[in-house]
C-alpha cells in the first residue's frame, strides 16, 4: 500500500532571501507544520546542505521529494511525519560549511 502524500500547506521561495536566513526560515516553517503536512521550497540551487541539516536535526521526522531538479530552479516538498520534541528552528544555522559565503539555502 502506498503511503499518503503530505498536504502542501505553504510554499517558500528562497531565491529572494539572503543566504544566511534561508535555513532558519525553513526550520521555522517546518516546526509549524502538523504531521501529514508539507512545505514546498523553491530554490536557485540543489539544497543538499539543507537536506543534511534535516538528517542531523530531525532524522525520521520528515520526507523529502524533488518536484523539479534544476537546472535553474529546484522545488522540494518537505513533509512532516511526526512531531519532534526538540525545537530545531532555534538551533538551525547553516551547516553546509560555507560560513554564509553563498553556498547555503
pLDDT, tens only, 29-46: 999 999 999 999 999 999
In a domain, 57, yes or no: yes
In a domain, 35, yes or no: yes
In a domain, 102, yes or no: no
d(CA 3, CA 51): 21
pTM: 0.78
- 16 lies in which domain range? 7-91
pLDDT, tens only, 57-97: 999 999 999 999 999 999 999 999 988 766 554 444 445 44
In a domain, 104, yes or no: no
In a domain, 71, yes or no: yes
In a domain, 2, yes or no: no
Q: What pLDDT score was predicted for residue 101?
A: 41
Q: How far lies 83's CA from each of 21, 36, 73, in Å? A: 23, 10, 30
* Least confident segment among 12-16, 23-27, 99-103: 99-103
CATH of residue 63:
3.30.110.40
Per DSSP, what are the bridge partners of residue 38? 8, 79
Amino acid at each position: 500500500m502506498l503511503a499518503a502524500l503530505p498536504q502542501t500547506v505553504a510554499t517558500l521561495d528562497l531565491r529572494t532571501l539572503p543566504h544566511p536566513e534561508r535555513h532558519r526560515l525553513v526550520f521555522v516553517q517546518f516546526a509549524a507544520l502538523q504531521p501529514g503536512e508539507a512545505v514546498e521550497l523553491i530554490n536557485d540551487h540543489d539544497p543538499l546542505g539543507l537536506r543534511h541539516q534535516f538528517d542531523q536535526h530531525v532524522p525520521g521526522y520528515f520526507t523529502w521529494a524533488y518536484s523539479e531538479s534544476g537546472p535553474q530552479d529546484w522545488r522540494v516538498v518537505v513533509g512532516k511525519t511526526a512531531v519532534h520534541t526538540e525545537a530545531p528552528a532555534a538551533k538551525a544555522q547553516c551547516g553546509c560549511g560555507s560560513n554564509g559565503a553563498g553556498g547555503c539555502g
